[in-house]
């Protein structure tokens, strides 16, 4: 820290992203990216947009918003796009929390929530998951705080039902409830249709995972118009041109090419079942996942050892040192070929342990 660094951020611990090695070629199953390239149509639209990069991008994202509006059955005024969903999550902390309304989220969830709260100077409470790594719904009833829940949750992959989320929404009419649906396309149930019924609901999504666009940075919020206006107040106070032209065009193309998206999601779900079953035969216990990753452990191997030995063999997975998580590793669902390599290396590691 330099002597010039703001005293406001002295205690701030930034988020640690998963490793993104640029030198050696790893089988990358550590950051929940898609193993598939973006839709060819989305790529073509991005290339065409590159010819107009001398001009600022459209701050209203009109074409993208209109396309999303017709695909998702919500009004254009109920949608706001952002530079990755991380950005709109941060905007939500700024817009919907203050001294009277601190934030609340599970103790085991997306690691960015406490970082955003700290950066925004907002108090937060972390509520423990139950012994099966599930979110305990009643803990959030009438809590009087701004609720952040990832559904499916990370890094567990466990999803809540629409009814469970409705309970949280209806018992907190005076608080905003933010549902982060980064992984919903892999088997969860989206609560997007509930925005008409609950004026306190913000649904956040991303093109990073199910639409293979992590490198483009595109996220969104869907909510009642009044909440979207609040988020726009924050956006226009920060960076009106937060989405670049190529990303905007690629996002529009990805929405139009729905068949490609659906096919890839189905393949990931199929590969998830294949991987979970194969690991079970090797003695692994895996939490029930509705996401494009699994959270798994083996009594014969510590999470850390498994992670490190896989890395030596050229396969990257994610390991978290947090006490309750340290026995597990999180494995992103790759292509069938990547999974087969992971399984082969895993069998070797278990053999070497004997």
Which parts of this chain interact with ligand PLP (CB under 6 A)? 32, 84-86, 110, 150, 154, 180, 182, 206, 208, 214, 219
Rounded to a whole number of angstroms, the distance between the first and last alpha carbons of the chain is: 46
The bridge status of strand 146-150 relative to strand 124-127 is: unpaired
- Nearer to ligand PLP among residue 151 and residue 200 (C-beta): 151
How far, in Å, CA of 60 to CA of 54, rounded?
Answer: 18
- Nearer to ligand PLP among residue 219 and residue 346 (C-beta): 219
Least distance from ligand PLP to the Cβ atom of residue 166, Å: 20
Least distance from ligand PLP to the Cβ atom of residue 318, Å: 11
Least distance from ligand PLP to the Cβ atom of residue 138, Å: 23
What values do phi and psi take at 264, rounded to 5? -65, -40
Classified as helix, coil or strand, 88 is helix
Report CA 54 to chain centroid distance, whole Å: 32
- Nearer to ligand PLP among residue 251 and residue 303 (C-beta): 251
Strand arrangement of the beta sheet that strand 293-298 belongs to: 284-286, 293-298, 329-332
- Nearer to ligand PLP among residue 85 and residue 346 (C-beta): 85
Spatial CA neighbour of 217 closest among 205, 201, 206, 232: 206
Least distance from ligand PLP to the Cβ atom of residue 79, Å: 15
Burial of 296 (0-12, 13-18, 19+ CB in 10 A): buried
Least distance from ligand PLP to the Cβ atom of residue 336, Å: 23
In the bound state, the residue with its beta carbon closest to ligand PLP is 84
- Nearer to ligand PLP among residue 105 and residue 284 (C-beta): 105
Least distance from ligand PLP to the Cβ atom of residue 217, Å: 7
- Nearer to ligand PLP among residue 78 and residue 180 (C-beta): 180
Spatial CA neighbour of 287 closest among 276, 275, 303, 274: 276
Burial of 231 (0-12, 13-18, 19+ CB in 10 A): buried
- Nearer to ligand PLP among residue 184 and residue 227 (C-beta): 184
Q: Where are the beta strands (DSSP E) in 17-174?
A: 27-28, 79-82, 103-106, 124-127, 146-150
Least distance from ligand PLP to the Cβ atom of residue 312, Å: 26
- Nearer to ligand PLP among residue 194 and residue 214 (C-beta): 214
Least distance from ligand PLP to the Cβ atom of residue 82, Å: 8
CA dihedral in degrees (47, 48, 51, 56; nearest 10)?
Answer: -100
């Amino acid at each position: 820290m330099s002597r010039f660094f703001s005293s406001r951020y002295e205690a701030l611990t930034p988020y640690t992203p998963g490793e993104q090695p640029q030198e050696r070629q790893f089988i990358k199953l550590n950051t929940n990216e898609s193993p598939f390239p973006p839709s060819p149509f989305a790529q073509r639209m991005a290339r065409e947009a590159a010819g107009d990069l001398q001009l600022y991008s459209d701050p209203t994202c009109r074409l993208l918003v209109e396309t999303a509006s017709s695909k998702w059955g919500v009004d254009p005024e109920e949608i706001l796009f952002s530079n990755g969903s991380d950005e709109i999550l941060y905007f939500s902390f700024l817009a919907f929390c203050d001294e009277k309304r601190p934030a609340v989220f599970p103790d085991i969830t997306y690691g960015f929530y406490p970082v955003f709260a700290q950066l925004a100077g907002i108090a937060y409470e972390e509520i423990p998951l139950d012994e099966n790594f599930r979110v305990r719904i009643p803990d959030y009833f009438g809590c009087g705080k701004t609720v952040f829940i990832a559904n499916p949750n990370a890094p567990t992959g466990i999803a809540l039902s629409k009814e469970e989320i409705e309970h949280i929404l209806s018992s907190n009419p005076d608080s905003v409830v933010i549902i982060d649906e980064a992984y919903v396309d892999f088997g969860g149930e989206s609560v997007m249709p509930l925005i008409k019924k609950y004026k306190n609901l913000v649904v956040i999504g991303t093109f990073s995972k199910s639409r293979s666009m992590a490198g483009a940075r595109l996220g969104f919020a869907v909510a009642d118009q009044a909440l979207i206006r609040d988020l726009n107040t924050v956006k226009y106070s920060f960076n009106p041109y937060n989405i670049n032209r190529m990303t905007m065009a690629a996002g529009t193309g990805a929405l139009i090419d729905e068949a490609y998206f659906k096919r890839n999601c189905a393949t990931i779900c199929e590969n998830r079942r294949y991987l979970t079953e194969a690991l079970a035969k090797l003695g692994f216990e895996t939490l029930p996942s509705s996401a494009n990753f699994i959270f798994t452990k083996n009594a014969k191997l510590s999470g850390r050892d498994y992670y490190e030995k896989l890395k030596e063999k050229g396969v990257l997975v994610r390991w978290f040192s947090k006490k309750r998580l340290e026995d597990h590793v999180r494995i992103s669902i790759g292509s069938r070929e990547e999974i087969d390599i992971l399984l082969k290396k895993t069998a070797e590691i278990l053999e070497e342990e004997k």
